[in-house]
Amino acid sequence: MMIRHWRDIPEQPLLLVGDCQLWQTWLDEEDPDPFRGLLSEDERVRAGRLRGPHGADRFTVGRGILRSILGRYLSRRPEELFFAYGANGKPALAGNWQERLSFNVSHAGSLEIFVIANGFEVGVDVEEIRPISDLEATASIIMSEAELAEFKRLPASMKLDRFFTMWTCKEAILKALGSGFSGPAKNILAMFHKPVTLFEPAEGFKGALAYL
């Protein structure tokens, strides 16, 4: 699986039916100012509500890049695009464009991944691998009984990687489905009958891609 930097996208990228392409950026390496004019009014309001040292700028850059990427695929100006949102907040292109492309986005810290698909729904998740104080208790929140029993039998050195593998796979599936992380999520891997692709976008990060 090839993940390319978003600035390498061609003017008229080719995306065949049944295919998807992944792009990435480091949000903190981008200047947010050029992207502000690409956002809709509601997106600018949303950015203004975000707190923290990086929240507003990262949102502005991420949404501006998403618009720029989709604009290339659709041969439209980024600011002309409109989005609709599902019951659990999953964004999609609004209007006739929705029939042509689907997309999904995930970020961990400054790293953001964008996936664009033609002809099917897609979900992506990326996580930074980091220590978790009570790993087994946290695992019990997202894993089924069978998964948790297997997890507990693993050597300690393998548990953190397995946790984030399970986490990213389940998040990617649920994002493809447009669902929230609750209830059936514990058993979603057993219920989902299509493959999930794992990838490592950068050292210390783990990602997963699911499609319908």
In total, how many domains does the chain have? 2
For residue 78, what pLDDT is reported? 96
* 73-104 residue pLDDT tens: 999 999 999 999 888 888 899 877 556 799 99
For residue 184, what pLDDT is reported? 66
Same domain, 34 and 114: yes
Same domain, 103 and 45: yes
* 122-149 residue pLDDT tens: 999 999 999 999 999 999 999 999 999 9
For residue 16, what pLDDT is reported? 93
Task: Look up the domain containing 15 and give its range.
Answer: 3-120
Q: Are 59 and 52 within 8 A, CB to CB?
A: no
Q: Is residue 207 part of a domain?
A: no
pTM reported for the whole predicted model:
0.93
Same domain, 12 and 74: yes
Laid out side by side, the sheet with 196-199 consists of 122-128, 205-211, 196-199
- Compute and round to an integer the Cα radius of gyration of the chain: 18
For residue 182, what pLDDT is reported? 53
Q: Is residue 140 part of a domain?
A: yes
Same domain, 86 and 175: no
Average pLDDT over residues 104-132: 96
Percent of the chain residues past pLDDT 70, beyond the cut: 96
Same domain, 139 and 71: no
Q: Is residue 11 part of a domain?
A: yes
Percent of the chain residues past pLDDT 90, beyond the cut: 80
In DSSP notation, 107-172 reads EETTEEEEEEESSS-EEEEEEE----TTHHHHHHHHS-HHHHHHHHHS-HHHHHHHHHHHHHHHHH
- Which residues lie below 8 Å from residue 140, measured CB to CB, with a gap of 6+? 148
Same domain, 113 and 180: no
For residue 185, pLDDT beyond 80? no
For residue 163, pLDDT beyond 90? yes
Same domain, 113 and 20: yes
Same domain, 55 and 116: yes
Q: Which of 6-20, 28-42, 76-90, 126-140 has the lowest mean pLDDT?
A: 76-90
Same domain, 98 and 10: yes
Q: Is residue 212 part of a domain?
A: no
Which of 120, 139, 170 terminates a domain? The answer is 120
Same domain, 73 and 134: no
Q: Is residue 36 part of a domain?
A: yes
Q: What HEC string does 61-114 produce?
A: HHHHHHHHHHHHHHCCCHHHCCEEECCCCCEEECHHHHHCCEEEEEEECCEEEE
Give the domain CATH number at 22. 3.90.470.20
Same domain, 151 and 180: yes
Same domain, 75 and 170: no
Q: Is residue 97 part of a domain?
A: yes
Q: Is residue 108 part of a domain?
A: yes
Which of 63, 90, 120 terminates a domain? The answer is 120
Q: Is residue 182 part of a domain?
A: yes
